[in-house]
Structures are given as C-alpha cells and as structure tokens.
Amino acid sequence: MAIQSFRDLRVWQGAMDLVEELYRLTESLPTKELYGLTSQMRRAAVSVPSNIAEGHTREHLKEYLQFISTAQASLAELYTQVEITCRLKYYPRERAGQVFTLIASVGKQLHVLRNSLSDKG
C-alpha cells in the first residue's frame, strides 16, 4: 500500500496508540500532579505523532528529518517521565508495562524511518 498521508504511516498510528494509553495512565496520577507530571507527560506524548505528521508534510527531506529527531527526543522525555511516575510509586511498574512497550515500539519505528530517510538524502 502506498503512503498517501501521514495517517498511513505505521509509526504515526503507533504513536497515536501511545497517546491514548498515556492519557489513561495519567488519569490515575495524583491531582497534585495535574500541572506537573500529568501535563508534561501529555505534552510529550502528543508531541510524538504531531511531529511525525508535521515532518511528513514538509517539502524538504532535511526538515522531515528534523521533525523525526524532535519526535525521538519527545519519546525519550516521555520514557523518563513514565519512569519517574513508577519511582515515585504513582503508578505500578507492572501496569506501566504497556506504555513502556509502546514507547519501545515507536522508538524502533522512528529509528527505521530516520535511517530510511537518511539513505535517500
């Protein structure tokens, strides 16, 4: 199947799944974290598919690569924040497993996409 839109990219679809799962996770965080970790985690999660989408619509390969790089950075930020919620015992590590799995999957796909795009440049 030919890629017609960023919505056709499996990495974007996986990143959207990650956003959904992350929102479910943050619903159970303490209300005192609403403007702290909860807000920060949601922004980082939303940044991943947003940057994939924006990069895909750019005309120049160099711009696309920059947006993929930003998505990778947001993913690393999100991993760190989920780890913090586990260390603070806000969320049990075993229940955060699905989020960590999605982060790893999206990270691998971003890496592959970035390498594929770099080979074209």
Question: Are the C-beta atoms of residues 46 and 61 closer than 8 Å to each other?
Answer: no
What is the distance between the alpha carbons of residues 60 and 35, in angstroms, rounded to a whole number?
Answer: 36
Evaluate if residue 4 carries a pLDDT over 80: yes
- pLDDT averaged over the chain? 95
Task: Determine if the pTM surpasses 0.85.
Answer: yes
Domain range annotation of the chain? 9-120
| Residues contacting residue 81 through CB under 8 Å, at least 6 positions apart | 37, 40, 41, 44
Token pair 């989020």 in the structure block, residue: 99
Q: What letter represents residue 111's amino acid?
A: H
Note the CATH architecture for domain 9-120.
Up-down Bundle (1.20)
Average pLDDT over residues 38-44: 97
Average pLDDT over residues 32-41: 95
The candidate with the shortest Cα–Cα distance to 27, out of 76, 99, 80, 79, is: 99
pLDDT of res. 121: 67
pLDDT tier for residue 43 given thresholds of 50, 70 and 90: very high
